[in-house]
Chains A and B, each alone.
Chain A
Amino acid sequence: EAQVTQNPRYLITVTGKKLTVTCSQNMNHEYMSWYRQDPGLGLRQIYYSMNVEVTDKGDVPEGYKVSRKEKRNFPLILESPSPNQTSLYFCASSLSRRAGGYYEQYFGPGTRLTVT
C-alpha cells in the first residue's frame, strides 16, 4: 500500500530535550515536505526537499532541522524544543513537478507534539 508513515503519532516532551520525528514514504517520490498545522493558520511549510541531499527552508523553518540522506526518509529534528513548537506536524511527499506541471501531495497521519 502506497503510504507516508510518521512516528511517533503523539509526543509530549519538555523544553530543550532534543527530539526527532521520522517520516518515510514507499512511493519513490523525489519531493518531501514538513508542515505544521495550527488553528486558524492552516498548514505552514517548515522545510522541503526536492531530492536526496537537497533541502530548503519553507515559511517557518526557525527551530527545526531536516536531513535527506535517503530518498524514502525525511526526518524532522527539533534540537531544543520550545512551547511555541507545540503543534500538529505533517509530512508529505510527491513526485517532482515538471515545468508547467503540478503534483499531488500525499500526507502522513500527523504527529501531535506537546512541549511543556
Chain B
Amino acid sequence: TQLLEQSPQFLSIQEGENLTVYCNSSSVFSSLQWYRQEPGEGPVLLVTVVTGGEVKKLKRLTFQFGDARKDSSLHITAAQPGDTGLYLCAGAIPGGYQKVTFGTGTKLQVIP
C-alpha cells in the first residue's frame, strides 16, 4: 500500500513556465520532506516541513505543508533546465521509531 501519492507522475514543460507537484496521503505525518534525485545519483534533501500550514521558500521553489499534515505541494516558478530531475516527497510516520515512507515520485523535464 502506497501511503504517499504524488501527481503528476511525469511533467514536461518549457523553460520559464511555472509548475506545481502534489504529494497526498490519507495519513498524518509528523514531518514531510522533499528530495530531488538526478540520474545516477541518490536523492538529495531540498526541504523539511514540520508544522501544519507551514510554507518554506528555497529560491524559486515554494513548499507547503497542508494544515492537517496529510499533504504537501512543491511549486516551481520560472522553471530552469537545471530543475530537471525526479522529485520525491517523504513523510515521517508519527511514533517513537524511525519509519519514513516515500512518495511515488514526479519526473520533471524542463526543456530549454
* A contact set with B: CB distance below 8 Å: 4, 31, 33, 35, 40-45, 48, 50, 56, 59, 90, 92, 94, 96-97, 99-100, 102-105, 107-110
Q: Which residues of B contact A48 (CB under 8 A)?
A: 98-99
Could you tell me if B88 and A42 are in contact, using CB atoms closer than 8 angstroms?
Answer: yes
Could you tell me if A41 and B104 are in contact, using CB atoms closer than 8 angstroms?
Answer: yes
Could you tell me if A109 and B45 are in contact, using CB atoms closer than 8 angstroms?
Answer: no
Could you tell me if A105 and B96 are in contact, using CB atoms closer than 8 angstroms?
Answer: no
Query: Could you tell me the distance in whole angstroms from the C-beta of B87 to the nearest C-beta in chain A?
Result: 11
Given contacts A44-B102, A110-B41, contact A97 B9 (CB under 8 A): no
Q: Mark B77-112, 1 if CB is under 8 A from A, else 0.
A: 000000000001010100011111111110000000
Residue B66 CB within 8 A of the other chain:
no
Could you tell me if B105 and A107 are in contact, using CB atoms closer than 8 angstroms?
Answer: no
Instruction: List CB contacts (< 8 Å) of B30-61 with chain A.
Output: 30-31, 33, 40-45, 48, 50
Q: Mark B1-12, 1 if CB is under 8 A from A, else 0.
A: 010101001000
Chain B interface residue count, Cβ-Cβ cutoff 8 angstroms: 28
**Distance in angstroms between the alpha carbons of A107 and B9 in the assembled complex:** 22
* B contact set with A: CB distance below 8 Å: 2, 4, 6, 9, 30-31, 33, 40-45, 48, 50, 88, 90, 92, 96-105
Q: Which residues of A contact B92 (CB under 8 A)?
A: 97, 102
What 11 new A-B contacts, CB under 8 Å, besides A59-B101, A102-B50, A105-B43? A42-B103, A43-B105, A48-B99, A50-B98, A56-B97, A92-B42, A102-B31, A104-B45, A105-B90, A107-B42, A109-B40
Could you tell me if B48 and A104 are in contact, using CB atoms closer than 8 angstroms?
Answer: yes
Given contacts A100-B30, A102-B50, contact A43 B102 (CB under 8 A): yes
**Distance in angstroms between the alpha carbons of A107 and B42 in the assembled complex:** 5
B96 to A, closest residue via Cβ: A99
